[in-house]
């Protein structure tokens, strides 16, 4: 196959267009929500104190001071342990056993908002919301940049509700890659035409975030853990409308998948997962096809609309004697030594030998020129995946045993046939002129 520089540049622009469409959506949703005044009443106390009451629709500074004094120093997670250090986080916290609130995130419509604006998830999935704790950030309080630790494999994010208390500073900052968003809820709440109201921000667990220093007043929040429920537990099946950006995504995808110069001998087109999903030994990653969230779910929905065969699969690079594999399972090679020349069997029946290539089908490194059955090409369209896993293994076959590391990368993968066998249909959501 002859390298065509001009055609490669055209295909690269198509790949960049797909990547840009997937990158355009921020990993959070935020805003303000009007709330009836009676829903802003909170009771708090513990075994050693009387029960106190605070109305967040019109709290006094003294009431906020009392609430702050009733809190414990806020902790944070390090290596699956809760620790406290005011150089990293200075705030107060109260566990759910010590307070009761009439506010309901679901009744306020926030869970529906999360589903529509953040998830883009499978239409059969509902969201389980779990109230986690109350936090009070007084003057000079803050929480440095960090990522949340999911408390269960189905936990995908957090929802923070900000009560309408007077404060300055305490901006909520989110970061992903080179992008940063700063949310000033003190200003959002004071500028809102609705009285009273709360602020809210929902975001994925793998997004870095921080609370900047509060310069005056009290910033009071409720934090909820968000989980995807099993499809069988979804209370109602709804119609999931296409996200607004799916039309701009469908157009370059259609052009890419129908271009005969893209993997002309067929192969796997891979799209890096934008969100992190939990992995472990023996997991069949095809099960994640119904658990994708955000732009991962949107990509899967567009591919389905285009009528192409796609799945979620694991890619292994440089295994043993530098072979590459595709598999449906996260393989465990740590239990016993493996011969360097026998990795096909060690990787299991689900593994397929592949050859890393560019989208035009040119192998990056030709490792199997004399193979009886040439390996299928594997080409990445978008960024490297956010969902990875690694484990050590012992490799024999040399003068002495050596320790290697098996690196698994999970992708959305399109099984692309040769051009004459491809069937791709145009999507109704494609932008005019595509």
* Domains of the chain, residue spans: 5-23+243-421, 28-233
Q: What is the pLDDT of residues 270-300, one digit of tens each?
A: 999 988 888 877 788 898 887 788 888 889 9
313-335 confidence digits (pLDDT tens): 999 877 666 678 888 888 776 66
Q: How many beta carbons lie within 10 A of that of residue 415, not counting itself?
A: 15
Q: What is the pLDDT of residue 426?
A: 81
28-233 CATH fold: Jelly Rolls (2.60.120)
Judge if pTM exceeds 0.85: no
Q: Which two tokens stand for residue 401?
A: 């045993």
pLDDT tens readout for residues 355-387: 888 888 887 766 665 556 678 888 999 878 888
Whether residue 431 contacts residue 375, with contact meaning beta carbons closer than 8 Å, is answered with: no
Per-chain mean pLDDT for the chain: 83
CA dist., res. 408 & res. 387, Å (int): 9
Q: 250 — phi, psi (to 5°)?
A: -65, -35
| Reported confidence tier of residue 7, pLDDT bands at 50, 70, 90 | confident
CA distance 379 to 115: 32
Report percent pLDDT > 90 for the chain. 40
Residue 232, pLDDT score: 41
Instruction: Please tell me which residue, 420 or 431, carries the higher pLDDT value.
Output: 420
Is pLDDT larger for residue 114 or for residue 407? 114
């Amino acid at each position: 196959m002859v390298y065509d520089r001009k055609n490669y540049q055209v295909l690269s622009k198509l790949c960049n267009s797909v990547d840009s469409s997937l990158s355009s959506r921020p990993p959070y949703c935020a805003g303000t929500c009007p709330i009836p005044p009676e829903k802003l009443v909170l009771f708090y106390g513990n075994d050693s104190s009387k029960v106190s009451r605070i109305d967040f629709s019109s709290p006094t500074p003294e009431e906020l001071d009392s609430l702050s004094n009733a809190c414990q120093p806020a902790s944070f997670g390090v290596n699956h342990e809760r620790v406290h250090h005011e150089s990293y986080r200075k705030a107060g916290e109260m566990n759910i056993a010590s307070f009761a609130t009439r506010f309901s995130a679901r009744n306020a419509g926030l869970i529906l908002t999360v589903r529509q604006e953040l998830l883009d998830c499978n239409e059969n999935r509902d969201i389980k919301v779990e109230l986690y704790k109350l936090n009070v950030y007084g003057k000079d309080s803050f929480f440095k940049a960090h990522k949340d630790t999911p408390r269960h494999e189905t936990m995908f994010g957090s929802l923070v509700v900000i009560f309408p208390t007077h404060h300055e500073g305490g901006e909520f900052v989110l970061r992903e890659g080179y992008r940063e968003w700063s949310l000033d809820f003190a200003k959002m709440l004071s500028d809102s035409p609705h009285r009273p109201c709360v602020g809210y921000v929902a975001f994925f667990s793998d997004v870095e975030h921080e609370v900047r220093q509060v310069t005056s007043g009290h910033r009071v929040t409720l934090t909820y853990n968000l989980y995807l429920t099993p499809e069988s537990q979804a209370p109602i099946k709804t119609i999931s409308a296409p996200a607004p950006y799916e039309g701009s995504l469908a157009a370059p995808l259609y052009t890419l998948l129908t271009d005969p110069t893209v993997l002309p001998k067929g192969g796997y087109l891979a799209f890096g997962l934008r969100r992190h999903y939990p992995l472990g030994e023996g997991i069949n990653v095809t099960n994640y096809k119904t658990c994708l969230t955000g732009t991962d779910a949107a990509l899967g929905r567009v591919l389905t609309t285009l009528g192409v065969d796609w799945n979620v699969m694991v890619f292994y690079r440089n295994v043993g004697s530098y072979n590459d594999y595709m598999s449906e399972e996260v393989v465990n090679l740590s239990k016993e030594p493996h011969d360097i020349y026998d990795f096909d069997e060690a990787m299991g029946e689900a593994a397929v030998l592949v050859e890393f290539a560019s989208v035009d089908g040119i192998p990056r490194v030709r490792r199997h020129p004399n193979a009886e059955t040439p390996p299928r090409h594997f080409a990445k369209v978008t960024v490297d995946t956010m969902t990875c896993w690694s484990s050590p293994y012992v490799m024999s076959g040399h003068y002495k045993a050596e320790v290697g590391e098996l690196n698994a990368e999970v992708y959305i993968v399109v099984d692309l046939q040769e051009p004459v066998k491809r069937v791709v249909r145009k999507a109704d959501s494609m932008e005019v002129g595509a």
